[in-house]
Amino acid sequence: MAMIQSLLAQGFQMMLVLAVAPLVIGIIRKVKARLSRRIGPSIFQPYRDLIRLARKDTVVAHNASWLFLVAPYIVFAAIWVAAALVPTYALGLIFSWSADIIVIVGLLALARFFLALAGLDVGTAFGGIGTSREMMISSLAEPAMLMIVFTLSLLAQSTQLSSIAHYMMTADVGLRVSCGLALLGLVMVTIAENGRVPVDNPATHLELTMVHEAMILEYSGRHLALIELAAALKLTLYLSMLTCVFLPWGIALNGAKLPVLGLGVLIYLIKITVASAVLAAFEVTVAKMRVFRVVDFLNFALMLGLLATLLLFVSRSI
Amino acid sequence: MDLPFALCLVSLLIGAAALVAPVAGRSWASVALYGLCLGVSSLLLVIGLWSLVAMGGGAEAPLLWLPLGIPGQGVHFRLDGLSAFFLIVINLAASAASLFAIGSGRHEHAPHRVLPFYPVFLAGMNLVVLANDVYGFLFSWEVMSVASWFLVIAHHRQPENRRAGYVYLIMAALSTQMLLVTFGLLSGFGAHLDFDAIRATPPSLDIARLALLAVVIGTGAKAGLVPLHVWLPLAHPAAPSHVSGLMSGIMTKVAIYGLVRVTFDLLGPPEWTWGAGILLLGGTTAVTGVLYALMQHDLKRLLAYHTVENIGIIAIGLGLALAFRANGFQMGAALALTAALFHVLNHSLFKTLLFLSAGAVLTATGERDLDRLGGLIRGMPITAFCFLVGSAAISALPPLNGFVSEWLALQAILISPELPQWILKFLVPMVGAGLALSAALAAACFVKAFGAAFLGRARTAAAERAVEVERSSLAAMLILVAACVLAGVLPGLVVDALAPVTTLLVGSHLPNQITQPWLTLVATTPERSSYNGLILMVFIALSASLSAFGVHRLASRRRRRAGAWDCGYPETSPATQYTAASFAQPIRRVFASVLFSAREKIDMPAPGDSRAARLTLTIRDPVWALLYRPVAVAVTTAAEIISSALSLSIRQHLGLVYGTLILLLVVLALWQ
């Protein structure tokens, strides 16, 4: 019985992130629109877009190979699994120990690897430019992310996200410099990895500035729907990670009762809404960078992560 | 009984080499020889597995003495946990490469230059890990080096192969010289050549430091540690593909075996500085190796540079293990050593797989240049799949095996703040960042390699016409694919098999993995970290099928084919695709403009001028200019001075001899 309950809790989290992901995009678009004095589409518009895309015919280039056809499913599955393993409303779900935070970084790398290959598959110039820039950005963002992972793991003495969140919630963390640096670094990595302004512009269709959009230019119909949903899930994953590590309050603890779990879901929804709104507010205040300025941006994130880790290494007394 | 049987099998290889030499030109010779090599390697693999399992149960390492070699000394052999593990690594890859060559061997246009040396090469590598005395080790090492040198110059009519052979010969000689120094110091200048005697009388600290320096240079030159890596990207691609796979996949591992055997087993208790030195070398090697690889557009050379990177990752593990051991943290040492040895196995699997796939591409198209390939996934779907799995594994992507060793190495780094030395406190996080950077860059590099060779549109007619190679070659690659997946989803089995090895070398081992619930991999304690590749793979497979089913069932399943979209302006010429060089351009601009002084020169014709624009790209390898050129100049200058002495008159010669004699006598008199 306990087994079935924990499986249900895990299954609920998988469905929760899937259901919330388009909403996150919707909220961001709405807030951005309001802040630039437009009315903007409804926050449920991303759901309608996805359904519309999924119902349309899929048009595939003549020379597309099997990799192009399976890549959307692999990308979606890898990101969905990763998002289901990040604590949202409760800690210590039954499969949370099967993957620690390093594995989650690895799963995101797996998704990016296949998406990048799919971008090269048809052999168009846009696919190439998008892929090559995406890999350049990720080759800096991933080490930065791992350095932040190091910082958090050294603080909590664990690489399990559940344990890290639990540590941040209960222990007397206090104001730590490393924590602040890690927070800033993680926000920067979130912006870069999800192709948000100022690194990339998800709304652009101006060819020379596209990165992510250029990579998936050849996709259409249900494949595009899956990739869009995967991108939304990835953003949700990063926001969940940010909130569960740095705003861990309100997450239901291991083995909590149903009302507490319900409260956890509610608090998670509030946190994720606030985080999306803050991200949107940040995006309207900055302008997009040139591609090679992104390098400085990410080097800064990497340095923050490295500094945070070094501080922890050094402050551990003999 | 297993050790004598293993030696009989190795001698069978040498006998086969002698027998095949006169008949190498016959069509059946290659099939018969590679079939025999496959059989012998598989049996040796079974022996290795059997011994390792027996040693897990507490069996003694068998010893054997044979009256060969130096009169009165003989040769000692021993099959302990470390030897058994490397026996498995060598023979797993060797059987796959032999199986590959059964089919593809008939494309070899100079079989008499390959067939006799191939079994000798295998025999040499097997003997190195079995030898238990200085003579046996060095002799087998030289057999391995010389046999591989013959294989490198098999296609000697191409000038770049001759150059590769020349550079390789010099570096191999350096390597053996340095090992000679190492063992000279360790054995008390030849007093006791047996490894058991060396273990019984560990050298003094000064001798041990010198010996460490010599062994790092000696094995590093063979394994490809930066800056001793220069021969590797020249020599490995020059050999026939299955031999390239073995040279990159396992000969470098035999060098790692030498390093581990000497530093962990023979040198006595380490100092933390040794660990720091190897850690620094490893970090440098990992990052520069992958950056070199990104600049390449020759498929086999790119793979060879990735070997350099992976040797760096292994060295990081070994350095950490030494640092932990010097500080008495046995658990940390066991974790870092397990990570390093696991990566040894992983790299031998996926690098052999990648080289065999590259060999299949070379056989099918005759091309190694990525910018003349493209679109091979259509003509060669199985090879493409194999290369894809190898690429994902080497890029450390879950749930494949490359990720597991990377994960273990990161876990080892995460417990290293316990190390008390300040230099290590600064060095280890830096190396951790380097490890993360090299993994991310490796993924970029393999997106480039796979994308340029297998995806997109064919750039040449040869790539357009490519078809799959022989069945046996495909089977060899698929076996390695299966091994990569198995080691990735069931890493606990490998970690458990490594337990006797780490117990032997650092006196501790990781928690027993087979008893963990759901076969989860646990580095130290389950609260700290755990990883389950099996569940992850099942989850990904389930979610992918669920989403495919859901989308097809609930939404549309219609699919139309049309021309590429490309923002409305699809270009028809395959030349407009991104090439390997253009793919690497952003990364080159970020990393290589300082490190390799990469410069782009654009030569634009003036308006109205109809000549083509040109882009010239120059990349310089700083190691050649800074390290090797001065040495080469010094050697040439010295040689010129000495050769001028040859043209002296008889009187001057006699004077020179007389002067030398006086000088030696004076030295002797002062010495006394």
> Does any CB of chain B come closer than 8 Å to the CB of residue A136?
yes
> Does any CB of chain B come closer than 8 Å to the CB of residue A296?
no
* Residues of chain B contacting A61 with CB distance shorter than 8 Å: 561-565
Two tokens, residue A94? 């039954």
> If 0-12 CB within 10 Å is exposed, 13-18 middle and 19+ buried, where does residue B666 land?
exposed
> Does any CB of chain B come closer than 8 Å to the CB of residue A126?
yes
Residue A256 has pLDDT above 80, yes or no: no
Given this model, what pLDDT does residue B355 score? 96
Nearest to B617 by CA among B296, B324, B157: B296
Pairwise CA distance, residues A6 & B489, whole Å:
24
> Does any CB of chain A come closer than 8 Å to the CB of residue B23?
no
The DSSP symbol for B265 reads: I
Given this model, what pLDDT does residue A318 score? 40
The DSSP symbol for B479 reads: H
Given this model, what pLDDT does residue A172 score? 67
Q: Please give the tally of structural domains in chain A.
A: 1
Q: Name the residue among A73, A117, A141 with its Cβ closest to that of B455.
A: A117
A76 CB-near residues (< 8 Å, 6+ apart): A226, A227, A229, A230, A233, B543, B544, B547
Q: Across all residues in chain A, what is the average pLDDT?
A: 90
Pairwise CA distance, residues A148 & A160, whole Å:
14
Q: Which residue has the higher pLDDT, B223 or B418?
A: B223
Interface of A with B in 198-237 (CB under 8 A): 207, 217-218, 220-222, 225-226
Please give the distance of CA A286 from its chain centroid, rounded to a whole number.
20
Name which of A164-168, A208-212, A240-244 the model is least confident about. Answer: A208-212
pLDDT digits (tens, 9 = 90+) for B581-624: 889 998 988 887 778 878 888 888 888 888 888 888 888 888 88
Q: Specify the DSSP element, H or E, that contains B222.
A: helix B205-223
Please, which pLDDT band fits residue B293 given cuts at 50, 70 and 90? very high
Range of the domain at A189: 2-315
The DSSP symbol for B251 reads: I
Q: Name the residue among B446, B528, B535 with its Cβ closest to that of A98.
A: B535
* Residues of chain B contacting A7 with CB distance shorter than 8 Å: none
Given this model, what pLDDT does residue A316 score? 65
Beta strand residue intervals within B365-442, DSSP E: none
| CB neighbour burial string for A10-47, b if at least 16 within 10 angstroms, e if fewer | bebbbebbbebbbbbbbbbbbbbeeeeeeebeebeebb
* Residues of chain A contacting B518 with CB distance shorter than 8 Å: 98
Residue B190 has pLDDT above 80, yes or no: no
Q: Across all residues in chain B, what is the average pLDDT?
A: 91
Interchain CB distance below 8 Å, B398 and A107: yes
Give the CA distances from residue A283 to residues A123, B527, B559, in Å, rounded to whole numbers and listed in that order: 33, 38, 37
What ipTM did this prediction achieve? 0.95
Interchain CB distance below 8 Å, A62 and B562: yes
A111 CB-near residues (< 8 Å, 6+ apart): A74, A75, A78, A79, A82, A230, A234
Please, which pLDDT band fits residue A174 given cuts at 50, 70 and 90? low
Please, which pLDDT band fits residue B540 given cuts at 50, 70 and 90? very high
> Does any CB of chain A come closer than 8 Å to the CB of residue B537?
no
Given this model, what pLDDT does residue A206 score? 66
Name which of A114-118, A305-309, B71-75, B430-434 the model is least confident about. Answer: B71-75
Q: What is the mean pLDDT of residues B496-501?
A: 93
- High-pLDDT (> 70) share of chain A, %: 95
pLDDT digits (tens, 9 = 90+) for A264-298: 999 999 999 999 999 999 999 998 888 888 999 99
pLDDT digits (tens, 9 = 90+) for B557-584: 888 998 888 888 777 888 888 999 889 9
Interchain CB distance below 8 Å, B536 and A63: no
Given this model, what pLDDT does residue B58 score? 80
Residue of A nearest to B548 (CA): A73
The pTM (predicted TM-score) of the whole model is 0.94
Residue A201 has pLDDT above 90, yes or no: no
The DSSP symbol for B66 reads: E
Q: Name the residue among A73, A113, A226 with its Cβ closest to that of B395.
A: A113
Q: What is the mean pLDDT of residues A132-139?
A: 93
Given this model, what pLDDT does residue B345 score? 97
* Residues of chain A contacting B332 with CB distance shorter than 8 Å: none
Q: What is the mean pLDDT of residues B362-379?
A: 92
Q: What is the mean pLDDT of residues B98-120?
A: 90
From the candidates A7, A97, A114, which should be mutated to test the interface with B, based on the most B CB atoms within 10 A? A97
Pairwise CA distance, residues B404 & A103, whole Å:
10
* Residues of chain B contacting A77 with CB distance shorter than 8 Å: 539-541, 543-544, 547
Q: Name the residue among B388, B426, B528 with its Cβ closest to that of A157.
A: B528
Over B490-519, what HEC string results?
A: CHHHHHHHHHHHHHHHHCCCCCCCCCCHHH
> If 0-12 CB within 10 Å is exposed, 13-18 middle and 19+ buried, where does residue A303 land?
middle
- If DSSP codes are grouped into helix, strand and coil, which group holds residue B521? strand
For residue A296, report the phi and psi dihedrals to the nearest 5 degrees. Answer: -65, -40
Q: Which residue has the higher pLDDT, B99 or B2?
A: B99
A145 CB-near residues (< 8 Å, 6+ apart): A105, A186, A189, A193, A305
* Residues of chain A contacting B582 with CB distance shorter than 8 Å: 128, 132
> Does any CB of chain A come closer than 8 Å to the CB of residue B262?
no
Cβ count within 10 A of residue B574: 16
Q: How far is B537 from chain A (nearest CA, A)?
A: 9
Interchain CB distance below 8 Å, B571 and A78: no
> Does any CB of chain B come closer than 8 Å to the CB of residue A122?
yes
Interchain CB distance below 8 Å, A56 and B556: yes
